[in-house]
């Protein structure tokens, strides 16, 4: 069954797997996000209805952990580190370069749906600062021009598979 283009049969199947497990909310949300690419509102309400957990509690968990997304993201998710080492080594300049190159700000997605930008507190790569990740690839020792070159490479690929 689809509601608002979201296949709730998938989330219902996950909930059947975790029936009786009152400590599996994070796992359920992780699997839902893996399937949908984000946590659709409809899926959150379905989890609430079936598990008997208030939607506010589910949203509290989803917004507390930075791994969860409440909106769809682009094919290429750029996570830009703004931790201390990255900040000291020029993360603000990298963010400005990325924003200029893609015409988006933190939390936004390009109109073509290819790129989303998210600043994060730490990527755990301090020795490579400043750092950004694009999906599973890590890029360190960035300069504004190097960041733009990397993005241009992804733009050239467009929606093609990697």
Q: Domain residues of the chain, as ranges?
A: 2-64, 76-157
Residue 53 has pLDDT above 60, yes or no: yes
Q: What is the pLDDT of residues 124-145, one digit of tens each?
A: 999 999 999 999 999 999 999 9
Taking the C-alpha atoms of residue 57 and residue 132, their distance in angstroms, rounded to an integer, is 31
pTM of the model: 0.71
Residue 161 has pLDDT above 70, yes or no: no
* Mean pLDDT, residues 38-49 taken together: 95
pLDDT at 159: 67
pLDDT at 71: 87
Among left, alpha and beta (phi > 0; psi -120 to 50; other), residue 72 is beta
Q: Using omega within 30 degrees of 0 as the cis cutoff, is the peptide bond preceding 130 cis?
A: yes
Taking the C-alpha atoms of residue 90 and residue 54, their distance in angstroms, rounded to an integer, is 42
Mean pLDDT in the chain? 92
Pick among 2.30.110.10, 3.30.450.20, 3.40.30.10, 1.10.3210.10: CATH of 76-157: 3.40.30.10
Would you list the DSSP string of 89-110? TTHHHHHHHHHHHHT--TT-B-
Q: What is the pLDDT of residues 63-111, one digit of tens each?
A: 988 789 898 889 999 999 999 999 999 999 999 999 999 999 999 999 9
């Amino acid at each position: 069954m689809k509601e608002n283009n979201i296949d709730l049969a998938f989330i219902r199947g996950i909930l059947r797997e975790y029936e009786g497990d009152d400590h599996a909310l994070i796992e359920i949300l992780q699997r839902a996000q893996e399937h949908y690419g984000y946590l659709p509102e409809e899926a959150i309400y379905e989890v609430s209805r079936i598990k008997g957990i208030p939607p506010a509690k589910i949203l509290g968990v989803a917004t507390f952990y930075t791994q969860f997304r409440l909106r769809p993201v682009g094919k290429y998710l750029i996570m830009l580190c703004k931790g201390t080492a990255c900040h000291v080594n020029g993360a603000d300049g990298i963010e400005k370069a990325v924003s200029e190159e893609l015409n988006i700000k933190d939390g936004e997605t390009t109109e073509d749906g290819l790129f989303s930008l998210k600043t994060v507190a730490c990527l755990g790569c301090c020795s490579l600062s400043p750092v950004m990740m694009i999906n599973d690839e890590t890029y360190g020792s960035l300069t504004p021009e190097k960041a733009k070159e990397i993005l241009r490479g992804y733009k050239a690929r467009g929606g093609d598979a990697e």
